Amino acid sequence: MAHLTRVIHSARLIDGGDEAPDAWIGVAAGRVAASGTGDAWRALSADEVVDARAVAGAGALLTPGFIDLHCHGGGGHAHEDGAEAIRASRALHLAHGTTRAVISLVAGSLPDLTARVGVIADLAETDASIVGSHLEGPFLDTAHHGAHDPALLIEPTPDAVDALLAAARGTLAQVTIAPELPGGLDAVTRFADAGVAVAVGHTGADADASRRAFDAGATLLTHAFNAMPGLHHRAPGPVGAATGDPRVTIEVIADGVHVHPDVIRMLFAAAPGRVALITDAMAAAGAPDGAYVLGALPVTVADGVARLADGTIAGSTLTQDAALRTAVAAGVPLPAAVAALTAVPARAIRRPELGSLAVGAVADAVLLDAELQVRRVFVGGA
């Protein structure tokens, strides 16, 4: 066995939908090199030995690092404000367990968006915690624009699609599209063929139109229930179509504001192993209430809830550890809730080396106490 840089022991390991008491992992070269239960770790030599119970108490939990597919900012910083703002946002969310993130952007002009995905591509070259960009706009339905400026929404023409793909230089991880727009289904296929995870969202699509998008290559649903037709017993809409399609990962914002906890529990039951807990956080996550800007729109945050002047919810102030606590309090089993932060989003963006603490996986890990508060975070073993 290679020389170990770290051993973490005496934790309840939650990984891959299973639980292992009194578990340990050994890390070498940023990957999980060994794992087991009991005292076998004592025979190993490592630069650092971490007693999980000493750090996080008798109920210490060890999970893979969290992966956020959908985040717009944090710590007072919006991703549209450039590289330093993105780094500051990442630092805030890293402290709450998010070891890898897709950097989401709200709708903007095509020149602005091509420049911004280029900045993210540059950052991804030196910061492995950034797994690419997510264009939540501009290919959205104006009637379901949410907190995106409707004046900046456009149709997904081939030229626009190609310009964004070229600017991202292979780092565009996700794009949200309203598939009913002219050229929408062709754009879904074009992005999917380029290796981008395509999400249906900010859409007026019914269930049939959503199914056509999934057949064209879409594999995600952007923040289920929000900015789309609701789930009605005679009109199941995008959520009904997505829960019935095993190819589709379903995002949900588990802050207790965007979606009621009872509905969160129902969604996990309807689509087991396919729900991803996202933050959709804007700049006010981890920052005081007050006035902010999301893209081009002014936002007021009061009691931790961000809204536009007309009352529309404008992103969240959520962190992923808080989403975990909300889901578990709603009745979602802990292993399923952890998977929704780890293995499920990793699979959605085709990163099988992430979201797990199996031997060979990247050694991103989060140590939590029994109350699901983050006590220590490891990125690639560091």
d(CA 380, CA 363): 4
280 is an active site residue: yes
Q: Which residues contact 61 (CB under 8 A, 6 or more apart)?
A: 11, 12, 13, 14, 367, 368, 369, 370, 372
The residues with which 379 forms a beta bridge, in sequence order, are none
d(CA 105, CA 78): 9
d(CA 292, CA 80): 13
d(CA 181, CA 177): 8
Residue 32, number of CB atoms within 10 A of its CB: 22
Residue 59, number of CB atoms within 10 A of its CB: 14
Q: Are 307 and 284 in contact (CB under 8 A)?
A: no
According to DSSP, residue 3 is labeled P
Q: Are 222 and 194 in contact (CB under 8 A)?
A: no
Angle at alpha carbon of residue 210, lines to 188 and 70, rounded to 5°? 65
Q: Are 342 and 355 in contact (CB under 8 A)?
A: yes
According to DSSP, residue 232 is labeled B
Up-side HSE of residue 97: CA atoms within 13 Å toward CB?
Answer: 30
d(CA 163, CA 194): 13
For every residue of 321-368, DSSP letters joined together read HHHHHHHHHTT--HHHHHHTTTHHHHHHTT-TTSS--STTSB--EEEE
Residue among 280, 289, 303, 369 flagged as catalytic:
280
According to DSSP, residue 281 is labeled B
Active site residues: 280
